[in-house]
Amino acid sequence: MKKHNLKDQLDQYLNRQYYPMHMPGHKRRVAVAPECALRYDLTEVSGTDDLHHASGILKDAMARTSARTGADRSWYLVNGSTCGNLAGVSAIVPYDGELIVARNCHRSVFHAIELRHAHPHWLWPSMDPATGIFDSIRPEAVEALLDEYPKSSAVVLTSPSYEGVVSDIRRIAEICHRHGIPLMVDEAHGAHLGLVPEAGFPESAIHQGADISVQSAHKTLLGMTQTAYLHLRGDRVSESIIEEKLSIFETSSPSYPLMLSLAGCTEWVEREGQKIFMDWAAALRDFDGTIRSLRHLRVLCHGADPVNTHAFYAFDQSKLVIDCTATALSGYALMDLLRTYFHYELEMAQPGYALAMTGPGDDFAALHRFAEALRMIDRALDEDAEESADLACTGVDAAGVDVDMSALKEAVRRKCTSDPMVEVRNGGASARRTTVDSPSLREAAPEEMALTPCEAVEVAVEMVPVAALKGRVSGEYVYSYPPGIPLLVPGERITEAMVRYLQQAEKRYDELRYSRSEDVDGSIACLVQG
């Protein structure tokens, strides 16, 4: 049997010609991406500068980036936003200190808390009961926690979220500064914000007063995977401390192709950003117009679903959150239909929705066809639709190839009657609807920790079946990926509601990830009692 190497496997996938409705933002369209090749895979030699002691061309390149983003100082990261989060959190919380952290932050923030032996106070966003999507962080909640925990050294939150939900960073920054502490924003999904204001995307965290922001260049710009920025503004956090922490977490052998990609993003924005961003915004407006006729599916904050009908402070229109809770399709089924019949590969799915990401590297004609694909699936969901010319006609996939509407409708029917993620409400097949599990993560998790994450991961553990977890203290992280938000954190005393949540999550997700156990028998690592 022939053994395939990594390149063979990647080529096999690429040959299927799925259109990427997911990161990275360059969408593998080489013509629009900054030039980067193996010939640039150099080391620190004369004339190439040194990322850890930048004094020449890299210093100049990072200065161009900071000028474009409005930061006082920007650093290139080749270990991803994870590196920036580890360095940023380490710079703003003293060892054994306290800080306020949004509970929907990426796991890298939690790992930084663990390394600093820090005491987190959870800042909980509300949750949309229909989709299970986290809402914006409320400024009032930040103020209340700072009053309750005045020794907190900083506030850390995520905006925009994976799904595009934006918080009121300006007001939150004002609150933090009034209390004499910095605000750090994990803005991994917002590298495009603030670059071309006329395009209509939300303002960036730095422009709104955040002291530190961390952005992934590869998610919503044209950077190669693993490229990111750390931006600093103001004097509440020392540049030298940031550099000290980056020297710990950043590789000592930074990749020049990745740095070239980061510098290329800035040059591309300076050269072509105005036109591309405006075209991107126009394509999204066209998308909104095309999907206005949707009857069963809903795209959050797009089409006939205005932002002001939600509790969100703001929303990043580059994200397409396709809500299927009014149908008998789960997000997983919808994602599969789009992949199988239209050759669109989405970013993520959850029970109540599927997530597609747009970017400046998109073929905007393919984005229009994506809107048409949603219309066809929506039409196929009509239970009373007759087998007419409307159903017998063909639509097109991502590449413009014909799709048989009759075959699509049959596939939708099969999924609507067999999807395990939906439940029957009030009897009958017509009453099947996608169910979003209850309780919510907010309801399930405790307010405070029995131990710090650092303490909990350093002690002996034993494996405990999920059904017997109530009252036990977790010894590991449990999370789904994506989005990488921990469901359970080391040191948390597990509630009955969390037991129910984990039991449902095991059914809900394709795969849960565990930091200490293999979960071969459905058990979780907990601290040894007694």
DSSP β-bridge partners for residue 339 = none
Task: With beta carbons less than 8 A apart as the criterion, state whether 496 and 438 touch.
Answer: no
Task: With beta carbons less than 8 A apart as the criterion, state whether 359 and 340 touch.
Answer: no
CA 409/CA 333 separation, integer angstroms: 13
Domains contained in the chain, CATH given = 33-269 (3.40.640.10), 274-434 (3.90.1150.150), 441-527 (3.90.100.10)
Neighbours of 384 (CB within 10 A): 5
pTM (2 d.p.)? 0.89
Task: Give the Å distances, CA to CA, from 286 to 194, 258, 368, 493.
Answer: 22, 34, 7, 49
3-state secondary structure of 33: coil
- Give the DSSP H or E segment for 487: strand 486-488
Per-residue pLDDT of the chain (530 residues; tens, 9 = 90+): 455 554 566 567 778 888 888 876 777 675 555 554 555 666 776 677 888 898 888 899 999 999 999 999 999 999 999 999 999 999 999 999 999 999 999 999 999 999 999 999 999 888 877 677 899 999 999 999 999 999 999 999 999 999 999 999 999 999 999 999 999 999 999 999 999 999 999 999 999 999 999 999 999 999 999 999 999 999 999 999 999 999 999 999 898 889 888 988 999 999 999 999 999 999 999 999 999 999 999 999 999 999 888 888 999 999 999 999 899 998 999 999 999 999 999 999 988 899 999 999 999 999 999 999 999 999 999 865 554 444 444 567 777 778 888 899 999 999 988 776 665 433 334 444 555 554 567 777 776 689 999 999 999 999 999 899 999 999 999 987 778 888 899 999 998 988 888 887 776 655 678 888 765 567 899 999 86
State whether the Cα torsion 22-28-29-35 is positive or negative. positive
The single-letter DSSP state of residue 331 is H
Task: With beta carbons less than 8 A apart as the criterion, state whether 478 and 488 touch.
Answer: yes
